[in-house]
Structure 1
Amino acid sequence: MKTDVLLIHPLYGEETEQRIFQPGIEFPISLLYLSAYLEKEGITNDVLDLRMEHDPERALHDQIQTEKPPVVAITASTAAIENAAKVAAQIKAIDQEIVIAIGGWHASALPEETLKKYPQFDYLIHGEGEVALTNFMKCIGGGSSTAGCKGLALRVNGEVQINPREEFISNLDEIPFPARHKVPITKYHPKPGTRNYLRLPSTGILVGRGCPYRCLFCYKGVWETSIRFRSLENVLEELEMCIDQFGIRDFRFYDDTVTSPRWDLKRFCEAIINRKLDIGWNCWSRVNDVDEEKLRLMKKAGCYHIKFGIEFGTEKALRLARKGATLDQARSAVALAKKVGLECKGSFIFGIPGETLEDCHKTIDFALEVSPHFATFYAFDPIPGSPFYRRIAQREIDPKRDMLPRDIAQDLANEAYKTFYFRPVFILQRLKSLALHPKREGLMLLNGAVMVVTYLLRRVTKTSMPFRRQDSGEQWII
Structure 2
Amino acid sequence: MNSVDALCITVLSNNINITKEIIKQVKEKDQDIFVVIGGPHCNIFPKKSLEETGADICVQGDGEKAILDIRNELNNEHVFSEISGVFYKLKHEIKSGRHYKLIKNLDNIPFPARHLIKKYNYGRFFNKSFKKGEFTTILTERGCSSDCRFCSQCVVNLNQYRTRSANNILDELKDLTKTEYKHIGIMDDNFLADKKKANYIFDNLIKEKINLNLYLVGSHINSADEKLYFKMKKAGVIYMHYNLISGDQSILDFYNTKTTIGDIRQTINLSHDIGFFTSGTFFLGAPTETLQKINNTINFSKSLPLNKILFTPLRYIAGSNLWFKAVDEEKILKNEYYIPADSRKNLSDFTIKELYQYCKKAQNSNYYRPKYFINLLKFFSKKKRIKF
Letter aligned with residue 308 of structure 2: F
Distance, in Å, in 2 between the alignment partners of 1:133 and 1:153 is 13
User: How far has the Cα of 1:396 moved from its partner?
Assistant: 6.5
User: How far has the Cα of 1:420 moved from its partner?
Assistant: 1.0
- The answer to whether the Cα contact below 8 Å between 2:185 and 2:214 also exists between their aligned partners in 1 is yes
Distance, in Å, in 1 between the alignment partners of 2:377 and 2:132 is 20
User: How far has the Cα of 1:211 moved from its partner?
Assistant: 0.7
For the pair 1:116 / 2:61, whether they are aligned, the reply is: no
Q: 1:199 to 1:101 in 2, by over 3 A?
A: closer
Determine the structure 1 residue equivalent to 2:249. 315
Aligned pairs (5 A) from 1:192-341: 201-220=134-153, 221-244=155-178, 246-261=179-194, 264-283=197-216, 284-341=218-275
Deviates more, 1:343-352 or 1:181-190: 181-190
For the pair 1:133 / 2:67, whether they are aligned, the reply is: yes
User: How far has the Cα of 1:350 moved from its partner?
Assistant: 0.8
Determine the structure 2 residue equivalent to 1:421. 367
Q: 1:351 to 1:112 in 2, by over 3 A?
A: farther
- The answer to whether the Cα contact below 8 Å between 1:212 and 1:225 also exists between their aligned partners in 2 is no
User: How far has the Cα of 1:262 moved from its partner?
Assistant: 6.0
Instruction: Choose from 29, 33, 45 the match for 1:98.
Output: 33
Determine the structure 2 residue equivalent to 1:401. 346
Deviation string 1:168-197 (CA, Å, 9 cap, x unpaired) is 1111111110110111267331457689x7
TM-score (norm 2): 0.87
Distance, in Å, in 1 between the alignment partners of 2:235 and 2:55 is 45
- The answer to whether the Cα contact below 8 Å between 1:204 and 1:254 also exists between their aligned partners in 2 is yes
Distance, in Å, in 1 between the alignment partners of 2:221 and 2:360 is 24
- The answer to whether the Cα contact below 8 Å between 1:209 and 1:228 also exists between their aligned partners in 2 is yes
Secondary structure class of the residue paired with 1:295: helix
Distance, in Å, in 1 between the alignment partners of 2:29 and 2:191 is 44
User: How far has the Cα of 1:162 moved from its partner?
Assistant: 5.7
Deviates more, 1:105-114 or 1:289-298: 105-114
Determine the structure 2 residue equivalent to 1:46. none
Secondary structure class of the residue paired with 1:346: strand
Q: 1:174 to 1:185 in 2, by over 3 A?
A: farther
Q: 1:261 to 1:388 in 2, by over 3 A?
A: same
Distance, in Å, in 2 between the alignment partners of 1:438 and 1:267 is 27
Letter aligned with residue 87 of structure 1: I
- The answer to whether the Cα contact below 8 Å between 1:186 and 1:202 also exists between their aligned partners in 2 is no
Deviation string 1:195-235 (CA, Å, 9 cap, x unpaired) is 9x799712101222221211111112332443222222221
Q: 1:417 to 1:134 in 2, by over 3 A?
A: same
Q: 1:150 to 1:407 in 2, by over 3 A?
A: farther
Determine the structure 2 residue equivalent to 1:188. 122
Structure with higher RCO (Cα < 8 A, 6+ apart): 1
Aligned residues: 374
- The answer to whether the Cα contact below 8 Å between 2:268 and 2:306 also exists between their aligned partners in 1 is yes
- The answer to whether the Cα contact below 8 Å between 1:155 and 1:161 also exists between their aligned partners in 2 is yes
Letter aligned with residue 370 of structure 2: P
User: How far has the Cα of 1:259 moved from its partner?
Assistant: 0.8
Gaps of 5+ in 2: 333-342
Letter aligned with residue 194 of structure 2: P
For the pair 1:82 / 2:17, whether they are aligned, the reply is: yes
Distance, in Å, in 2 between the alignment partners of 1:199 and 1:421 is 30
CA RMSD of aligned residues (A): 2.7
Secondary structure class of the residue paired with 1:136: helix
Distance, in Å, in 1 between the alignment partners of 2:57 and 2:365 is 47
Letter aligned with residue 264 of structure 1: K
- The answer to whether the Cα contact below 8 Å between 1:128 and 1:222 also exists between their aligned partners in 2 is no
Aligned pairs (5 A) from 1:135-154: 135-154=69-88
Secondary structure class of the residue paired with 1:362: helix
Deviation string 1:113-138 (CA, Å, 9 cap, x unpaired) is 433333x3122222222123233333
TM-score (norm 1): 0.72
Deviation string 1:376-405 (CA, Å, 9 cap, x unpaired) is 111111111211111111217676334132
Deviates more, 1:124-133 or 1:310-319: 124-133
Q: 1:199 to 1:439 in 2, by over 3 A?
A: farther
Deviation string 1:351-398 (CA, Å, 9 cap, x unpaired) is 122222322221111111223221111111111121111111121767
Distance, in Å, in 2 between the alignment partners of 1:191 and 1:180 is 17
